[in-house]
């Protein structure tokens, strides 16, 4: 009997030890991952704009955003002479690195002598506080510069669920009534024109619309990336009122060796900048896409190296099989090429405002690299 009792006690002690060990292990993992989650949510990359740059906030256009993850900086560059006005948005989708980085380069280098340029590198600031689930994406991307390494966030295409939850089974766009997948309720580029008292993401969209209305912005350019197998890559998608402007700008880009296809915004596809901002404001709304293998489904490992270099053996093979809509070889599509396309296109579109609509719409700006300068150099050369 004593032997049986002793055996049971020994068994219970072992089970207790195992349970305590498992509990300690779970607690350790929870603390480490919780710390990582907290740090990522609160990390703020520095944007080093020139001293004296005018800085507004999105909450200036919707006060209820103040103190939330939806608030974000807007850098304003005003020329001494009156002219046209331009809004450049990066970071609508925080995992589309070239759009965000191009806006950062603009904010850190732009000089304007005529007209006004608004630059918003983190349009959906909340998207920079989380990663897209199940994509195994990196959390950060490092860019070498002359002054040291700059660390940028590689976020999500959607608002952080901490800021807006739960997702409905079906997302009904306001005000069209169009039905979309429930997760699109946290996609800023499905939320325009937004609502003052709507969801978190709708309020961000509403504030951006107010920014355009209150400043009478003539041209809005939303910078994006998409997969190399996406038909609308290396292209501009535009509201029909921007056709003349985009046609002239695309011809100019083609003349300097940058192919830029044009796609008119479908009137029945709602929630996007190129549709709703064109319908609900007087701005000429344009969205631009560059090719990023991190966005596609054919890719191999998703990591910081892929986000920057754009090199992927799977895509190289897909190009040989004719599955892609862009040229792709062992050189990939590096961040220099993608930012070069965006920045050159922004400069040409800004010039085209004056060609198409007259001198009073002219925007004179300088200080930005062109396509050739970026392709032959490094994006790090243009970060402070």
The pLDDT tens digits along the chain (384 residues) read 555 566 666 655 677 778 887 888 888 888 887 888 788 888 888 899 999 999 999 999 999 999 999 999 999 999 999 999 999 999 999 999 999 999 999 999 999 999 999 999 999 999 999 987 778 889 999 999 999 999 999 999 999 999 999 999 999 999 999 999 999 999 999 999 999 999 999 999 999 999 999 999 999 999 999 999 998 899 999 999 999 999 999 999 999 999 999 999 999 999 999 999 999 999 999 999 999 999 999 999 889 999 999 999 999 999 999 999 999 999 999 999 999 999 999 999 999 999 999 999 999 999 999 999 999 999 999 998
3-class SS of residue 25: helix
Which of 368, 309, 381 lies closest to 146 in space, CA to CA? 381
User: At 116, phi and psi to the nearest 5?
Assistant: -135, 135
* Topology of the domain covering 51-382: Aminopeptidase (3.40.630)
For residue 70, count other CB atoms closer than 10 A to its CB. Answer: 25
Residue corresponding to tokens 């005529």: 114
Position 358 scores a pLDDT of 96
Residue corresponding to tokens 């055996």: 7
Report the b/e string of 337-376 with b at 16+ CB within 10 A.
bbbbbbbbbbbbbbbbbbbbbeeebbbbbeebbebeebbe
Residues 6+ positions from 167 with CB-CB distance below 8 Å? 161, 182, 183, 185, 186
Tokens of 180: 């979309």
Position 136 scores a pLDDT of 82
Residues 6+ positions from 364 with CB-CB distance below 8 Å? 79, 81, 83, 112, 113, 114, 115
Any idea what DSSP says for residue 274?
Answer: I
Task: Report the C-alpha gap between 122 and 58 in whole angstroms.
Answer: 10
Position 22 scores a pLDDT of 85
Position 25 scores a pLDDT of 84
Which of 230, 312, 228 lies closest to 263 in space, CA to CA? 230
Q: At what angle do helices 335-357 and 243-255 cross, to 10 degrees?
A: 130
Position 23 scores a pLDDT of 85
Question: What is the Cα gyration radius of the chain?
Answer: 24
Task: Report the C-alpha gap between 135 and 153 in whole angstroms.
Answer: 15
Q: Please, is 133 exposed, middle or buried when counting C-beta atoms within 10 Å of its C-beta (0-12, 13-18, 19+)?
A: exposed
Domain boundaries, the chain: 1-42, 51-382
Any idea what DSSP says for residue 202?
Answer: H
Which of 338, 88, 138 lies closest to 226 in space, CA to CA? 338
User: At 234, phi and psi to the nearest 5?
Assistant: 50, 50
Pairing of strands 235-238, 364-366: unpaired
Which of 360, 352, 348 lies closest to 368 in space, CA to CA? 348
């Amino acid at each position: 009997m004593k032997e049986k009792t002793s055996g049971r006690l020994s068994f219970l002690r072992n089970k207790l030890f195992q349970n305590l060990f498992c509990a300690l292990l779970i607690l350790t993992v929870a603390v480490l991952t919780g710390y990582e989650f907290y740090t990522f949510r609160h990390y703020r990359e520095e944007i080093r704009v020139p001293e004296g740059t005018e800085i507004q906030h999105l909450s200036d256009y919707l006060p209820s955003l103040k103190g939330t993850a939806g608030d974000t900086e807007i850098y304003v560059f005003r020329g001494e002479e009156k002219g046209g006005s331009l809004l450049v948005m990066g970071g609508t989708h925080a995992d589309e690195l070239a759009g965000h980085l191009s806006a950062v380069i603009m904010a850190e280098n732009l000089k304007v002598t005529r007209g006004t340029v608004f630059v918003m590198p983190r349009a959906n600031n909340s998207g920079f506080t989380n990663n897209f689930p199940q994509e195994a994406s990196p959390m950060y991307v490092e860019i070498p510069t002359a002054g040291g390494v700059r660390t940028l966030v590689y976020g999500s295409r959607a608002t952080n669920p901490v800021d807006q939850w739960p997702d409905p089974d079906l997302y009904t766009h306001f005000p069209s009534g169009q039905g979309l997948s429930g997760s699109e309720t946290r996609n800023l580029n499905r939320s325009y024109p937004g609502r003052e008292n709507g969801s978190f993401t709708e309020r961000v969209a509403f504030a951006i619309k107010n920014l355009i209305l209150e400043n009478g912005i003539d041209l809005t350019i939303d910078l994006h990336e998409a997969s190399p197998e996406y038909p609308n890559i290396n292209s501009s998608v535009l509201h029909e009122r921007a056709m003349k402007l985009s046609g002239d700008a695309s011809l100019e880009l083609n003349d300097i060796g940058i192919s830029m296809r044009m796609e008119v915004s479908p009137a029945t596809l709602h929630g996007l900048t190129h549709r709703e901002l064109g319908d609900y404001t007087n701005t000429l709304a344009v969205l631009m896409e560059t090719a990023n293998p991190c966005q596609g489904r054919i890719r191999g490992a998703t990591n910081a190296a892929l986000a920057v270099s754009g090199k992927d053996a799977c895509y190289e093979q897909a190009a040989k099989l004719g599955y892609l809509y862009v040229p792709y070889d062992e050189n990939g599509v590096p961040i220099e090429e993608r930012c070069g396309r965006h920045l050159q296109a922004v400069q040409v579109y800004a010039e085209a405002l004056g060609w198409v609509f007259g001198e009073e719409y002219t925007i004179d700006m300088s200080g930005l690299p062109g396509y050739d300068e970026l392709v032959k150099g490094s994006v790090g050369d243009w970060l402070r």
